[in-house]
Structure 1
Amino acid sequence: MATFVRLLVSQAERVVSRLFKAERGEGPGSFLEAPRTEKLLERGEGGGLRYGLGAMQGWRAHMEDAHTAQPQLPGALATWAFFAVYDGHAGSTVAQFCACHLLGEVVVGEAFTGEAESPEAVKEAVREGFLRIDSRMQALARAEGWEHAGSTAVAVLVSPGHLYFINLGDSRALLCRAGRLTFYTEDHKPSQPRERERIENAGGTVLLQRVNGSLAVSRALGDFDYKAVAWRGQTEQLVSPEPEVYELPRCPGEDEFLVLACDGVWDAFDTEGLCAFVRSRLLLGGDPQAVCEEGSRDNMTCMVVCFRGAPGTSQAALQKERELDAHLESRVAELYGELQEQGAASLVAIFQCLASEVNPSLPPGGGLASKRAVIMEAYERLRRSYEAQMSGPCESGAPC
């Protein structure tokens, strides 16, 4: 099937997925008649790390994502860093609360005060921090009436010697090391055997791959409607706030970058594809923020964190990109002329034609969709030129 058709199918699946994932009380009113296309862009650096972030509200009625980016923690933890993306649902309350307070609940206790770093102690401190903030929010939610709100969370805690990947829900983080995808977190879905077992033990069901036919993730912060059995422990409820924490030793010189993104990004990219796409953009001299700006979509957030070993600008890659852009512009002009003779010179028709052609020079992971700006700009120039010619005077001087 042509790449363009696959892109349309992917976009449709994303819309359907968003509709199914809507919480109780959400419906058509949760979506706008026209998308909000302004992008939130952010960049920063510290402690030998550079990060960039891109986010966009899109068709959703509210922006429900939030994030934390601290490339250098204060005080005694100045050699540590923390990055996180929170994908909220049924409102942004939980995501925003976590963005403000989760880090403070995590980096406490002996795990962060001793002289020698203990990975096991750090992982346990992270776990306890998540449980603590969820308990804290539950009391607030009951008092303030936001029991329905929830959020996934994906984070990376960077120490001088280790990378701690933290995941709760279906957002995802990856590590590119020495030019290859080395690690990525595992999504928490209700259909997974271990998740299904907990849900059923808690008296629930997995229907349409959702908790009780409604919630599409099996672990999340908030979502207190699913944590209402007082005699069950926090990790034994229908939805668990317990994160999975993975620890990897750092490899200076080989560690290149991290990507943290909410599930909508992973609906459009597979993990290896996004890793390859980000690396190809960095080789063009793009900073992390520019890379994220290319990738952000409807109510999605993507963060890229670069280590000192991240790839720098490649003249060969730049030349290849210039040649690709020139080729696409030339093909758009050729196709526009051919299709105009048939009265069918639409942007969609041109995309379909280009998608049917094999082009190994397209960015890895991004494909033709990642060059949409080049194609659209070339098309608009041709369209405006054609319309100007059609509305201009004839050779006799009279209007045509």
Structure 2
Amino acid sequence: MGAFLDKPKTEKHNAHGDGNGLRFGLSSMQGWRVEMEDAHTAVVGLPHGLDDWSFFGVYDGHAGSRVANYCSKHLLEHIITAGGTEELHRAGSPSPEAPAVEAVKSGIRSGFLKIDEHMRSFTDLRNGMDRSGSTAVAVMLSPEHLYFINCGDSRALLCRNAHVCFSTLDHKPCNPREKERIQNAGGSVMIQRVNGSLAVSRALGDYDYKCVDGKGPTEQLVSPEPEVFEIVRAPEDEFVLLACDGIWDVMSNEELCEFVSARLEVSEDLERVCNDVVDTCLHKGSRDNMSVVLVCLPNAPKVSEEAVKKDAELDKFLESRVEDIIEKAGEEGIPDLVHIMRILASESIPNLPPGGGLASKHSVIEAVYTRLNPHREEDGNVADLEDPW
């Protein structure tokens, strides 16, 4: 859980696609962790005739990747089976009635409980050889609604009219409702963790915390029950973001919304935008695995010539400043990259990407630094610094 590499693994897994009036991109990076435990789902057009529905999810595994990987492949089918295709069709029709919408929400909850019970039968999970668990955050889109689904401390948000219109609530042991359930199951909350160990109060898997006699599955120390929120889609909807806590540890809802909005004005490549998010979070100090899924709706920001021009001007300015700093160092020798970042962080630099700041331009700065100092040894990563920005 707490083990880190000597340097981060920055290779990324990417994917993108489109359909049903939306486009999506995603990026995931192992980062400083010794193992990649995140997984994701991205499906445009669901089975059983639900062609105009879509589903996206992020799963943040802990104590191993087994549960996260299984859920990424099979959670959707459990939800569809539990929800019933007829109910989903009714809920996806024009102006669906409230009972149909509630049936979808109920089916989603049932799907989570069913997959959690199903995985309990796996030999390695049953006998304790594998003690892994996973959070899950997802969004299911019908033609009329957005169904936000959350179990754990990964998070989803909806950007509407350039503002955070909605975000899911993290399930932390200290939350009064979660703490009450934990205590009723005979557990305790110490150092903000379940029994002083697990940092989330809801998750799939984690069967060591789901064996209290006389308590149902949603009454255990750790519950597999998701919270489901239904939002009527609006023309002003711009994009949905799903991300694990490796992202949210270093960026707030508003910062990430602003940053993605600004990057969408510079690039229509959603994989690139998602890569910018994980790179920025790495250089803001995130030590965790990082995964982000971006779902752009018809009203998402479009590329702006003015924004592209300003971004290019900012890059040139930063390149020039790095050259100046190195040139002024003179006989003292070229300072290391961390020192240069500290100098730049102390300056008032106009037009830095909102929400991302100087960290989002680390690759630009590093590129010119490497060009001017090609034989440098590896510098300490800025994640080693205390809040360098």
| 3-state SS in 1 of match to 2:267 | coil
1:82 alignment counterpart:
55
Q: Does 1:112 align with 2:88?
A: yes
1:312 alignment counterpart:
302
Alignment map for 1:194-233 (pairs within 5 Å): 194-233=177-216
| 3-state SS in 1 of match to 2:122 | helix
1:133 alignment counterpart:
115
CA–CA distance in structure 2, aligned partners of residues 235 and 362 of structure 1? 46
Q: Structure 1 residues 34, 375: CA separation in 2 closer, same or farther (over 3 Å shift)?
A: closer
Q: Structure 1 residues 167, 385: CA separation in 2 closer, same or farther (over 3 Å shift)?
A: closer
| 3-state SS in 1 of match to 2:260 | helix
| 3-state SS in 1 of match to 2:373 | helix
Choose from 237, 241, 256 the match for 1:274: 256
| TM-score where L is the length of structure 2 | 0.88
Amino acid at match of 1:307: L
Q: CA deviation at 1:229?
A: 1.5
Q: CA deviation at 1:332?
A: 0.9
Amino acid at match of 2:65: S
Alignment map for 1:22-61 (pairs within 5 Å): 28=3, 31-61=4-34
CA–CA distance in structure 2, aligned partners of residues 352 and 200 of structure 1? 46
The question of whether the paired residues in 2 share the 8 Å contact of 1:147 and 1:222 is answered with no
The question of whether the paired residues in 1 share the 8 Å contact of 2:267 and 2:273 is answered with no
Q: CA deviation at 1:64?
A: 0.8
Q: CA deviation at 1:56?
A: 1.2
1:393 alignment counterpart:
none
RMSD: 1.9
1:6-32, Cα deviation, whole Å (9 max, x unpaired): xxxxxxxxxxxx62xxxxxxxx4xx44
| TM-score where L is the length of structure 1 | 0.86
| 3-state SS in 2 of match to 1:77 | coil
1:71 alignment counterpart:
44
1:6 alignment counterpart:
none
The question of whether the paired residues in 2 share the 8 Å contact of 1:89 and 1:149 is answered with yes
Q: CA deviation at 1:359?
A: 2.0
Alignment map for 1:156-235 (pairs within 5 Å): 156-235=139-218
Q: CA deviation at 1:348?
A: 1.3
CA–CA distance in structure 2, aligned partners of residues 211 and 271 of structure 1? 25
1:362 alignment counterpart:
352
CA–CA distance in structure 1, aligned partners of residues 112 and 79 of structure 2? 7
Q: CA deviation at 1:230?
A: 3.4
Runs of 4+ in 1 over 6 A off after TM superposition: none
1:267-295, Cα deviation, whole Å (9 max, x unpaired): 12111001100111100023221111122
Q: CA deviation at 1:150?
A: 0.1
Q: Which runs of 5+ in 2 are unaligned?
A: 283-287, 377-389
CA–CA distance in structure 1, aligned partners of residues 371 and 198 of structure 2? 46
1:32-78, Cα deviation, whole Å (9 max, x unpaired): 44433221111111111111111112232221111110122134211
2:382 alignment counterpart:
none
Q: Does 1:92 align with 2:65?
A: yes
1:232-282, Cα deviation, whole Å (9 max, x unpaired): 101100001010111111012x11111100001011211100110011110
CA–CA distance in structure 2, aligned partners of residues 72 and 210 of structure 1? 39
User: Percent identity of the aligned residues?
Assistant: 56
| 3-state SS in 1 of match to 2:135 | strand
Amino acid at match of 1:201: N
The question of whether the paired residues in 2 share the 8 Å contact of 1:73 and 1:80 is answered with yes
The question of whether the paired residues in 1 share the 8 Å contact of 2:246 and 2:290 is answered with yes
CA–CA distance in structure 2, aligned partners of residues 210 and 111 of structure 1? 38
| 3-state SS in 2 of match to 1:312 | coil
The question of whether the paired residues in 2 share the 8 Å contact of 1:188 and 1:218 is answered with yes
| 3-state SS in 1 of match to 2:268 | coil
Q: Does 1:334 align with 2:324?
A: yes
The question of whether the paired residues in 1 share the 8 Å contact of 2:27 and 2:292 is answered with yes
CA–CA distance in structure 1, aligned partners of residues 329 and 173 of structure 2? 48
Per mean C-alpha deviation after superposition, the further-off stretch among 118-127 and 361-370 is 118-127
1:257 alignment counterpart:
239
| 3-state SS in 2 of match to 1:375 | helix
Q: Structure 1 residues 308, 332: CA separation in 2 closer, same or farther (over 3 Å shift)?
A: same
Q: CA deviation at 1:344?
A: 5.3
Q: CA deviation at 1:311?
A: 1.1
Amino acid at match of 1:319: K
Alignment map for 1:281-300 (pairs within 5 Å): 281-296=263-278, 297=282, 298-300=288-290
Aligned residue pairs, count: 359
